[in-house]
Structure 1
């Protein structure tokens, strides 16, 4: 029998939805910009949550360092807002981390695009059926 949808996963999904909304509607700091919550990992005891985010203008952690600092300073405020809006006994302590996987994905996409362009310049067939002739 497959393992049921765990409580930690349900809490993580709830936190992801609510934090995305709270950050956009409640935080007024202009340094945050367009932030998207990509995932939340909640500890088994529901005491801590690692919140991963991306930022529209940032592809690396160095560019988003200031945003992470602002979000971590606002973690107490966000936690208080979550406790008022939910029926959870306790809301996990929040810690924000930049998710660099989106930037790595863009880099990989760029490498693939450049390799395909190089193949086309060399006259290699990339999108054609191998059985067809030029």
Structure 2
């Protein structure tokens, strides 16, 4: 098994090779504006999971997924030429859900901020239900005795 440092170097090199190749373009009109976000390589350097994002609509995302699946052999050949390893890892492409999750978290934070503002507005005019300080203090115990 390859060490963590070697796996990280191989994964980074695969990401660079694929990014450069996709920047040049493929002859597939379905391919949209793709960004390779991450590559993870197994410990034996046999398989690589490639995570990508696509800027565009759902149809463009689906078209890009189909184009990447169709071009997997070509892209694997490019990776094989660019790596100095005995074996070329198989490539598997996954759409990265990070942008959708980030926008969802941003929306949740916005809602939480609005609710905090509402609570702050209610607390500004609020009064205590009982005494201002409902706790007993030591100096009061001395006066009561």
TM-score (norm 2): 0.69
More helix by share: 2
Work out which of the residue numbers 48, 72, 92 in structure 2 matches 1:75. 72
Matches within 5 A, 1:3-82: 5-57=4-56, 64-82=61-79
Out of 71-80 and 108-117, give the one that drifted further. Answer: 108-117
User: Contact 1:53 / 1:98 at 8 angstroms: preserved in 2?
Assistant: yes
Cα distance in 1 for partners of 2:42, 2:94 equals: 15
Residue 98 of structure 1 is matched in structure 2 by 95
Residue segments in structure 2 that go unaligned for 5+ positions in a row: 122-145
Count of residues paired in the alignment? 119
Q: Give how far 1:5 is off.
A: 4.6
Q: Give how far 1:114 is off.
A: 3.2
Residue segments in structure 1 that go unaligned for 5+ positions in a row: 126-134
Cα distance in 2 for partners of 1:45, 1:27 equals: 29
Larger Rg: 2
Residue 105 of structure 2 is matched in structure 1 by 108
